[in-house]
């Protein structure tokens, strides 16, 4: 690397040429680029992390009772959607027992929605007929119980809602993936699956029974 320096002495210009070895130039360049990030870091501070604050449930000397978590003021209302229907959003009665009846009307559209959501979220483990032999189980995953055993056929809808919401055993929670209305739709479809595998002739509407006696049915 060559540097040219022009000096002035009593009106006369003196040209001085300096030749810097390339190895030294590369060394100085490397040092500069290594120190540059450190120079930029000097502009970063941790003021918000170091400032005075109160962590959740931490004690506080500011309040007389020593608690940093304060009760809600009188007439405080929820911001956004208020999930006040315990049966719909938790699947529980006021005494925390599973609801025996569906908190929604079960229509054909609800069952079709439930079948669609079931095939997406449940069938990989429980299979499309609910016998616990889904494709994931066939590949080595632990098999869930069949929906058609007596215990689960007799389980109330609220029980299934709690399992979908909070998980059970190796099954994780689906609360973040399946909204409440879809959970009820899935449960309605599970109940339809259970009925399909344990139905009797008396369960068939009278105007449809003759079709069962037709050849090929």
What residue ranges do the domains of the chain occupy?
2-38, 86-203
Q: What is the DSSP string of 136-200?
A: HHHTTPPPPPPTTSHHHHSS-HHHHHHHHHH-BTTBPP-TTTS-HHHHHHHHHHHHHHHHHHH--
Q: Name which CATH class applies to 86-203.
A: mainly alpha
Q: What predicted TM-score, i.e. pTM, was given to this entire model?
A: 0.63
Task: List, run by run, the mean pLDDT of 10-residue segments along the chain (217 residues).
Answer: 54 58 72 76 70 84 88 84 89 96 97 98 96 95 95 97 95 96 98 90 80 67
Of the candidates 109, 94, 144, the one whose C-alpha atom is nearest the C-alpha of residue 124 is 144
């Amino acid at each position: 690397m060559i540097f040219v320096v022009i000096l002035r002495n009593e009106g006369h210009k003196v040209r001085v040429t300096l030749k810097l070895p390339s190895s030294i130039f590369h060394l100085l360049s490397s040092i500069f680029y290594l120190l540059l990030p450190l120079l930029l870091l000097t502009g970063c501070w941790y003021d918000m992390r170091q400032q005075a604050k109160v962590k959740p449930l931490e004690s506080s000397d500011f309040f007389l009772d020593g608690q940093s978590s304060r009760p809600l003021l009188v007439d405080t209302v929820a911001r956004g959607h208020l999930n006040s229907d315990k049966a719909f959003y938790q699947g529980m009665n006021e005494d925390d027992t599973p609801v025996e009846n569906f908190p929604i009307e079960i229509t054909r559209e609800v069952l079709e929605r439930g079948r669609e959501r079931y095939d997406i979220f449940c069938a990989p483990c429980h299979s499309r007929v609910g016998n616990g032999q889904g494709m994931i189980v066939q590949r080595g995953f632990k098999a869930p119980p069949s929906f058609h055993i007596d215990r689960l056929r007799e389980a109330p809808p609220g029980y299934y809602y709690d399992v979908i919401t909070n998980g059970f055993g190796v099954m994780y929670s689906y609360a973040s993936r399946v909204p409440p209305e879809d959970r009820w739709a899935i449960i309605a479809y599970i109940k339809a699956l259970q009925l399909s595998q344990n139905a009797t002739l008396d369960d068939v509407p009278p105007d449809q029974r003759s079709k069962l006696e037709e050849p090929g049915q």
